[in-house]
Amino acid sequence: MQYLSIFLKLVEMGLFNLKMNNKAKVETYKWYEVEPSPFQLLAQEDQDRLTNNFTQLLNSVNEAVIYVKNVFDFYEYENSQYPVIITKFYFGARENTPGFFNMRDITDPLKDRPTVTYEYPDKIVLSDGSLAKVLVTYNYPDYLPDGFLFEYYGIADEIFVKFKQVDQYKAIKMVSAARLRAESLLTGNRVTPETERKVQKLRDLSTTIGGSARLFEVYLYIVIKGKTNGELLEKEKRIKEMANARLLSIEDPKYIQRELYEFKTSVSAFTSFSIEKNFIDSISAGAFYPFISEDLIDENGVFLGKSNSNSPVVFNPYSRNNYNIVILGESGSGKSMTTKVFLRRLRKKMNIGINGIDPENEYVKDVVAKELNITQVVIKPGQKLGLDLMKFVREGFIDATDAAELIADLYYVPQELRPRLRRLFVSSDADTIFQLIDELKENKAEDLLKYLDAVESPPDSYVYDGIPIDISGNIVFGIKELRNQRLKVVVSSLLTLLLQKKMLSGRQLLFVDEAWIFSEYPAVLNLLQEVARRGRKYGDIFMYITQRPWDVYNTPEGRTILEQAATAILLRQRAAATEVLQKAYNLSQAEIDYLLSANPGQGIIRAGNHKLTLQILVTQEELEKFSTSPAI
């Protein structure tokens, strides 16, 4: 925003005067409620798209007002209250407004505001018993970042911005006159770099105003409220500190607080500021882009916590275009706590089954299992599981070709032998995996048996032998006691196939924790991806949890899981994860820096078009029952 302060400075220098109409006007507008969107964490091109739409919106009307209303409230969850801010955005214009944003017609949002019951010189008393003060910005620096108003949303109660388009002929005449007078200051020995810089900006402004840009009068009021003088003064102090940091001039004019609270902009309401009218060109107006919210509030969703603007984050996976969720975070980032809290609240909110693969036995502890209403099954070494891959093939839960690729991955069959193994799987009449091994022996397939004979020997034989575990009800399998990493992968992949039977009944959730252990097994990742794809039409939710996303991302199958999940919760990360996360989720460097230094339970949630910071809020009861570390 390059030209905002030029006119004020020229007024102070006496280069031109503005004629103003002292008669107050009754201002009526057609009002719209605007749906906001995240902004601060968007890529630069996405920010540019929003600010460009905003400037086009301003150019399409002669006069516009923006009213931002912050409602300070508490979100209650299980007898615990969390302070939140719900922000509403309104746009008023005298003309019908083109659809640059998602807007809906509403009645005048100002009519229900508390009225003024008493006036002090520097504040007012409102009909709801609160004190209020209006702060006015009357000078701007040469530069303000796009969306700077968002900085005040967590403190201000209301923000009012008015844009009034200056007649094009008058604007050109004003700018030209100002430019000529400023250029006259370039003569003599007292020319400063500051003068030269402002003259050049006025020359540039003359060109743009004569083209597609427009010139606007701009007014910005910030309303703060409090129950006590102390609360009011604290808010005023914070806002002025923020404004001063941006080189913004802001004051609380005395004796006209009522008029300012009623958002009047006539001279009668601006006695001490009547010659300090501010101007902005539409090209620079992107700095005032206001429709910013870090809110994610899905209907019938689960309360997760709050964003960095203190707004609630209420998430419903069924509001997305697919129901896949990934939770990524290094050890100690709050990943397990986040997952447990989400599962507990989801179960209480929705009628959904919960199933899981738990490599570290985090979820099969008695207290956790009770809270999640799950049956915990701890897999013991030597336990017969009845997870026969060939039976799954015969029952139609995996085709023979994919089964061949899966067992080839699990037993490290070389690539050159895999085509033959696939042919044997497809042509086999075996009903069990042991019968398949017998067929290999009959065919004297010694090259394949070299890798697959482990199927018949403990501990692998226990996996395939026996009767399958009953999977009715909510069930989570803990496999930590299987010390062999490869065996964990074998059991996990076959348990996933077993659970797939239940997933087809609909409204089931399957989570897989410590999923990085599958990164060396592309066929297993493909299996997980396929289970998620099949379950989507039945309303199933698939959750993929890992602390090492870079391992998963190294395979095409893993990349698909990470990139195509509609929802990703990114908690604190190691530096090794930064390149992967930038590629998978188009994160900016600022977002990466935030994740590298985030506290436990802090991160970024990307849910569909929403991307915002997140602080998981945990009740005392959840903390006591779920915590694995005192850090969260």
The 10s digit of each residue's pLDDT in 298-325 is: 878 899 998 877 778 999 999 888 899 9
Residue pLDDT, tens place only, 92-119: 998 776 677 888 899 999 999 999 999 9
Q: Please check whether residue 629 is in contact with residue 623, taking contact to mean a CB–CB distance below 8 angstroms.
A: no
54: in domain: yes
Question: Is the same domain home to 349 and 204?
Answer: no
Across the chain, how many H-helices and E-strands are there? Answer: 21, 23
Decide if 514 contacts 547 (C-beta within 8 A).
yes
Residues 474 and 424 in one domain: no
Q: Which of 425, 440, 468 finishes a domain?
A: 468
622 and 561 belong to one structural domain: yes
**283 with 362, same domain?**
no
The whole-number pLDDT of residue 393 equals 94
| Cβ atoms 592, 578 nearer than 8 A | yes
CA 11 to chain centre: 44
Q: How far apart are CA 276 and CA 220, in angstroms?
A: 13
Q: Work out how many domains the chain is built from and give that number.
A: 3
Bridge partners, 37 (sequence order): 292
Element (H, E) at 542: strand 541-546
Convert the pLDDT of each residue in 594-631 to its tens digit.
Answer: 999 999 999 999 998 788 899 999 988 899 999 865 44
Residue 72 lies in a domain: yes
Q: Assess if residue 23 is contained within a domain.
A: no
Residues 381 and 302 in one domain: yes
Could you tell me the CATH number of the domain that includes residue 522?
A: 3.40.50.300
Can you state the percent helix, strand and coil of the chain, rounding each to 5? Answer: 40, 20, 35
In a domain, 210, yes or no: yes
236 vs 243: CA distance, rounded Å = 10
On whether residue 302 sits in a domain, the answer given is: yes
> Is 631 inside a domain boundary?
no
Distance between CA 490 and CA 331 in Å, rounded? 24
**How many Å apart are CA 310 and CA 471, to the nearest integer?**
41
What one-character-per-residue DSSP string does 171-188 give?
HHHHHHHHHHHHHGGGSS
Q: How far apart are CA 232 and CA 436, in angstroms?
A: 79
393 and 367 within one domain: no
User: What local confidence, expressed as pLDDT, does residue 27 receive?
Assistant: 60
> What is the reported pLDDT for 51?
93
User: Terminus-to-terminus CA distance in the chain, angstroms?
Assistant: 42
Which segments within 107-196 are labelled E, that is strand? Answer: 116-119, 124-126, 131-139, 158-165
Low-confidence ranges of the chain (pLDDT < 50): 1-26, 267-275, 630-632
Shared domain check, 571 and 519: yes
User: Measured on CA atoms in the order 471, 476, 479, 481, is the torsion positive or negative?
Assistant: negative
Cis-peptide, bond into residue 359, ω within 30° of zero: no
605: β partners: 569, 612
- Cross-strand bridge partners of residue 160: 67, 221
Decide which of 288, 314, 345 is a domain's last residue.
Answer: 288
* Residue 482 domain flag: yes
Domain, as residue range, for 176:
6-18+29-288
Q: What pLDDT sits at residue 269?
A: 40
240 in the same domain as 95: yes
Residue 210 confidence (pLDDT): 64
Task: Give the H/E segment covering residue 603.
Answer: strand 602-607
Q: Are residues 363 and 492 in the same domain?
A: yes
Identify whether residues 443 and 502 lie together within a single domain: no
pTM of the predicted model as reported, rounded to 2 decimal places = 0.68
Which phi and psi angles does 109 have, rounded to 5°?
A: -75, -10
Q: Is residue 515, in this structure, part of any structural domain at all?
A: yes
Is the same domain home to 453 and 518?
no
Partners of 476 in the β-ladder: 356, 376
Which single residue is written with the structure tokens 């009953």?
Answer: 470
Residues 501 and 580 in one domain: yes
Domain boundary, last residue among 235, 269, 288: 288
Q: Could you tell me which residues come within 8 angstroms of residue 587 by beta carbon, excluding any fewer than 6 positions away? A: 570, 581, 595, 604
Predicted pLDDT at 459: 95
Structure token pair of residue 472: 């009715």
